[in-house]
Amino acid sequence: MIKSLFKPDKTLLCMILLMVIGYVLIHDLLGGTLFAHSHWDSYTLQALAWLRGETGLGQDYSWLELAIFNGNWYVSFPPLPSVFMLPFAIVFGEATPNNLIIAAYSVISAVIAYRCMRETGVRDIYAAFWAIFVVCGCNLMWMSTNGGVWFQAQSLNMLLCLATVHSMLKNRRALSYITLALAVGCRPFSLVFFPVLFIYYFMKDKKAQSGENSLRLMFRQFKYFIGPAIIGGAYMAYNYIRFGNPFELGHNYLPEFVNSPNGQFHISYLLPNLYNLFLRPITFGWNAGLEYPIWDGFMFYIANPIFIVLFIYLVRDVLRKEITLVKVVICVAIFANILLLCVHKTLGGWQFGARYTVDMIPMAFLYLLLSKKERPSRVELMIGAFAVMFNLYGTLAIPMFV
């Protein structure tokens, strides 16, 4: 798979070069931080604890979100990014070059998105447009400039979910299920992508073998769940070792949620969060300066305009009666993800407070891929340009911490 992603392609090489130059310029404006270590990195600390043969950190780091359980401090996030940080922790110790690593995640994500577009027959220059749109025209642009724990999880989740999409297009079934299972170890709500994967392959088989019994076609897929089951079992075992509960990641032991009357998840959070994500506006100050919330969201489709394109495609498909079962399941999965986010106490902070919705972009991208358009329309080009411009503004305007 790696060889096929990076095979020689002049347009792809130019896109990678532009992204690398962009990161150098942005980090220069941020104070020359590309090779710096962000001390918001719980994952490096967890990797170092593993090297000591421990699961707990052994001490408090007051600036991090750590779970406190039985007198020890634990990383309260899914563990997979620590696996990726492990070799760097061995070489660099606590001072891993996580700002550079997270930028690399972003570049690789763009390469995968480019290859996905090429797989559907899109010209190289337009494939590059969509790749930049998907990766840089969203909150990920800002996140990919800082190697903090939250951003590592979302950036690696984006990479793995896009790898899942690419494997789907190449019909590499076992690999697609495995990469998605790995993504769940970054962002648990990526679980909603599994039904999309399942229905995609089911419909593909049904079309190829029209006379075959549907139940038989479904059962044939269960062998591909062996890999995810092993990976999921490893996650659950790690949770059990730390907290005595296979489903406990540690968030429930964060002081923020321990001291909350309704805990981490509650139905009372749903309506306020839905309002924030869909209707909370950007406003203009008296001097025409922008005023927007940093915490808990505003209109997420402004920060991540690929969802506007998705809505346009959805309306068009409905009006033309071209909607398919796979596309319906994609939309249901995205909506389910939104509902899960909105019953959580917070919607995240910093870059426009909408960054959690980045996790749904690979599914939106898959919808666009299934629509098989050879070139973007003028409207899509304008939306893509705005997306990159607005998120570049957000990257430079909102305070950064290293």
pLDDT at 372: 76
Separation CA 184–CA 79 (nearest Å): 10
pLDDT at residue 399, rounded to an integer: 61
C-alpha angle 127/330/111, rounded to 5°? 25
In a domain, residue 179? The reply is: yes
* Percent of the chain clearing pLDDT 90 (strictly above): 74
Does the pLDDT at position 9 exceed 80?
yes
Dihedral of alpha carbons 332, 179, 243, 254, sign: negative
| 283-284 and 72-75 beta bridge pairing | unpaired
Task: Give kind and range of the element (H or E) at residue 183.
Answer: helix 173-184
Give bridge partners of residue 92 from the DSSP assignment.
none
Let me know how many helices (H) and strands (E) the chain has, helices first. Answer: 19, 4
Confidence label for 402 from pLDDT (cuts 50, 70 and 90): very low
Looking at residue 4, its pLDDT comes to 65
pLDDT tens track for 170-182? 999 999 999 999 9
Asked if 253 and 71 touch (Cβ cutoff 8 Å), the reply is no
Tokens coding 229: 């089951």
Q: Give burial (CB, 10 Å; 0-12/13-18/19+) of 308.
A: middle
Flag whether pLDDT at 349 surpasses 80. Answer: no
From 210, 204, 246, select the one nearest 224 (Cα to Cα).
204
**Higher pLDDT residue, 180 or 401?**
180
pLDDT at 374 over 50: yes
pLDDT (tens digit per residue) in 91-132: 999 999 999 999 999 999 999 999 999 999 999 999 999 999
Number of domains in the chain: 1
- What phi-psi label fits residue 212: left (phi over 0), alpha (psi between -120 and 50 degrees) or beta? beta
Report d(CA 374, CA 357) in Å as an integer. 27
Decide if 363 is inside a domain.
yes
Burial pattern 128-163, b for ≥16 Cβ within 10 A else e, equals bbbbbbbbbbbbbbbbbbbbbbbbbbbbbbbbbbbb
Average pLDDT over residues 17-31: 94
Over range 203-232, report the average pLDDT: 87
Helices (H), 32-148: 42-51, 80-92, 98-119, 124-136, 140-143
Per-residue DSSP letter, 280: P
Write out the two tokens for 298. 């505003």
Range of the domain at 62: 2-397
The model's pLDDT over 282-334, given as tens digits with 9 standing for 90+, comes to: 887 777 777 777 778 788 999 999 999 999 999 999 999 999 999 999 999 99
Residue environment code for 76-105, b if the CB has 16+ CB neighbours within 10 A, otherwise e: bbbbbbbbbbbebbeeeeeebbbbbbbbbb
d(CA 337, CA 243): 26
pLDDT value at 6 more than 90: no
3-class secondary structure, 291: strand
The verdict on residue 402 lying in a domain is no
**Average pLDDT value over all residues in the chain:** 91
Q: What is the DSSP letter of 252?
A: G
The residue behind tokens 């790749």 is: 131
Percent of the chain surpassing pLDDT 70: 97
- In this structure, the number of other CB atoms found within 10 A of the CB of residue 336 comes to 15
SS3 69: strand
CA distance 150 to 348: 9
Mean pLDDT of 47-61: 95
Structure confidence at residue 258 (pLDDT): 74
pLDDT tens string 243-263: 999 999 888 888 878 777 888
**So what's the pLDDT on residue 1?**
61
- Tokens found for residue 7: 């095979």
